[in-house]
Amino acid sequence: MKIFSEELVEKAVKELHIADLSKATIGEVLLVAQYLEKETGIPFIRMDQGSPGLPVNQLGVEAEKAALDRGVGSQYPAAAGVPELKYEAARFVKAFLNVDISARACVPTVGSVAGSYGSFIACTQRTPGKNKVLFIDPGFPIQKSQLRIIGADWVEFDIYNYRGEALREKLESMLSSGNIAAIVYSNPNNPAWICLEDSELKIIGELATKYDVIVMEDLAYFCMDFRSDMGHPFEPPYPPTVAHYTDNYIIMLSSSKIFSYAGQRMALTCISDKLFDRQFPALAERYKDAGVFGQTLIASILYMITSGCTASTQYAYAEMLRLSSDGKINFVEDTREYARRAEKMKKIFTDNGFHIIYDHDVTQQVGDGFFFTIGYGDMSGGDLLKELLYYGVSSISLSTTGSDQQGVRACTSRMCDDLYDVMAERMKAFKEDHPLN
Cα-Cα end-to-end distance for the chain: 19
| The pLDDT of residue 393 is above 90 | yes
Three-class SS of residue 54? coil
User: CATH 2.40.30.10: does it fit domain 58-325?
Assistant: no
**What is the rounded distance in angstroms from the CA atom of residue 207 to the CA atom of residue 170?**
11
| The pLDDT of residue 23 is above 90 | no
pLDDT class of 232 with cuts at 50, 70, 90: very high
Predicted local distance difference test score (pLDDT) of residue 374: 98
Q: Rounded mean pLDDT of 144-155?
A: 97
Predicted local distance difference test score (pLDDT) of residue 122: 98
**What is the rounded distance in angstroms from the CA atom of residue 190 to the CA atom of residue 1?**
32
pLDDT class of 131 with cuts at 50, 70, 90: very high
Predicted local distance difference test score (pLDDT) of residue 189: 98
Q: What Rg value do the Cα atoms of the chain yield, rounded?
A: 22
Question: For the chain, where do the domains classified as CATH 3.40.640.10 start and end?
Answer: 58-325
Q: Rounded mean pLDDT of 124-129?
A: 98
Predicted local distance difference test score (pLDDT) of residue 181: 98
Q: Rounded mean pLDDT of 235-252?
A: 98
Position with higher pLDDT, 185 vs 49: 185
Burial of residue 343 (number of CB atoms within 10 Å: 0-12, 13-18, 19+): middle
Q: Which residues contact 81 (CB under 8 A, 6 or more apart)?
A: 106, 107, 108, 308, 309, 314
| The pLDDT of residue 26 is above 90 | no
**What is the rounded distance in angstroms from the CA atom of residue 326 to the CA atom of residue 330?**
10
Average model confidence (pLDDT) across the chain: 96
Predicted local distance difference test score (pLDDT) of residue 87: 98
Whether the CB-CB separation of 381 and 18 falls below 8 Å is answered with: no
Predicted local distance difference test score (pLDDT) of residue 25: 87
Predicted local distance difference test score (pLDDT) of residue 212: 98
Q: What is the pTM of this model?
A: 0.96
Predicted local distance difference test score (pLDDT) of residue 67: 98
| The pLDDT of residue 319 is above 90 | yes
Q: Rounded mean pLDDT of 117-121?
A: 98
Predicted local distance difference test score (pLDDT) of residue 431: 97
Burial of residue 212 (number of CB atoms within 10 Å: 0-12, 13-18, 19+): middle
Task: Report the DSSP pairing between strands 214-218 and 180-186.
Answer: parallel
Percentage of the chain beyond pLDDT 90 is 97
Strand intervals (E) in 138-189 = 153-158, 180-186
Q: Which residues contact 330 (CB under 8 A, 6 or more apart)?
A: 231, 324
Question: For the chain, where do the domains classified as CATH 3.90.1150.100 start and end?
Answer: 6-54+336-433
Quick one: which of 201, 136, 141, 194 has its CA closest to 170? 136
Predicted local distance difference test score (pLDDT) of residue 298: 98
| The pLDDT of residue 437 is above 90 | no
Q: Quick: pLDDT tens for 200-214.
A: 999 999 999 999 999
| The pLDDT of residue 400 is above 90 | yes
CA distances from 396 to 30, 48, 223 (A): 9, 6, 24
| The pLDDT of residue 1 is above 90 | no
Q: 6-54+336-433 has which fold?
A: Aspartate Aminotransferase, domain 1 (3.90.1150)
pLDDT class of 49 with cuts at 50, 70, 90: confident
Three-class SS of residue 274? helix
